[in-house]
Copies of this chain bind each other. A is one copy, B any other.
């Protein structure tokens, strides 16, 4: 038996749901905890916020310390504040989420001892997570599913240069439904914010596809008039 853990009196923590896309699968970042409670469990990267940092800054710092990912473009998701969500007392957690390129990231090395490791795990077939982290994940997943329809978030998950097939399969994975190839391409290209490159895909054992880039400047120009693109929420 271990000694009782200290009790918290009203603290806030951050938990991050970081999405990535790799090998045709949507994944999130998990850590393996190295601390009680829930020692050795898998969990979302999260920790307690300091007194003298904003929650946004804290979220970035915590994500960095637990996973080695610096300065990620995270956004606030939702705050979870049930009385008994944390066994050590009153811990209200502010959840953040981000969609990032897995490919561009070096290794995931926790800077602190609180996590043994950090790793990508497919969202299909997630293990049981510590605390109420499964609920937090589900909230985040619902959010990006909806948001996919009105914000260009897919491009954050893809490599800088991507094929239309990759883009389509990402949409299919997030929304869990098949899309029609011709209609999908027609629509995507009609927006006018995809830049066709002269390069082609490499290293595939079949006809190589054209590569495209997302042109954010054009996107902003096109959609600046449409009612309030939300950027921080």
Could you list which residues of chain A lie within 8 angstroms of chain B, going by C-beta atoms? 9-12, 49, 51-56, 58, 76, 78-79, 81-83, 90, 92, 94, 139, 142-143, 145-146, 175, 227-228, 230, 233
Contacts and interface: CB of A to CB of B under 8 A. Distances in A.
A51 B9 contact: yes
13 contacts: A10-B11, A12-B81, A52-B83, A54-B83, A55-B79, A56-B81, A78-B233, A79-B94, A81-B94, A92-B94, A142-B228, A145-B227, A146-B227
A139 B79 contact: no
Given A51-B90, A53-B83, A142-B228, 18 more contacts: A49-B81, A52-B83, A54-B81, A54-B82, A54-B83, A55-B81, A55-B92, A56-B81, A78-B233, A79-B79, A81-B94, A92-B92, A142-B230, A143-B233, A145-B227, A145-B228, A146-B227, A146-B230
Nearest to A58: B81
Count this chain's copies in the assembly.
2
A139 B233 contact: yes
A230 B49 CA distance: 29
Please list the 5 inter-chain residue pairs (A to B) with the smallest Cβ-Cβ separation, ordered nearest first.
A55-B81, A79-B79, A54-B82, A79-B94, A54-B83
A24 to B, nearest CB: 21
B53 A92 contact: no
Contacts of A49: 81
